Amino acid sequence: MAISPCEHGLAEAKMAQTLVNTVDGRIFVYFENPPKKGDWIFFLHGYPDSHETFSYQYDYLKGKYGLLAIDLPGVGQSEPPSSRAGYHIENLLPRLNQVISAIAGEETKLHFVGHDWGAMILWVYICHPLFSKRVKSFTAISGPHPAMARQNLIDKLGSLEPTKMAEAIRQTLMSGYIFFFQTPFLPEFVWEAAPSFVWKNTLRRGGLPSYDPMYELPEEKIKAQAIQPINLYRELLQGMPVDLPRRIELPVQLIIPNHDFAISPQIYDNVTNFVTYLTVQSLEANHWVHRERPDAVNRFLESFIAKNN
Number of domains in the chain: 1
Instruction: Write out the chain's pLDDT in tens, 309 residues.
Output: 333 333 334 544 579 999 999 999 999 999 999 988 779 999 999 999 999 999 999 999 999 999 999 999 999 999 999 999 999 999 999 999 999 999 999 999 999 999 999 999 999 999 999 999 999 999 999 999 999 999 999 999 999 999 999 999 999 999 999 999 999 999 999 999 999 999 999 999 999 999 999 999 999 999 999 999 999 999 999 999 999 999 999 999 999 999 999 999 999 999 999 999 999 999 999 999 999 999 999 999 999 999 999
Which domain covers residue 173, as residue numbers? 4-307
pLDDT for the residue numbered 10: 54
Report pLDDT for 14.
75
CATH code of 268's domain: 3.40.50.1820
Residue 196 and residue 190 in contact, taking contact as beta carbons nearer than 8 Å: no
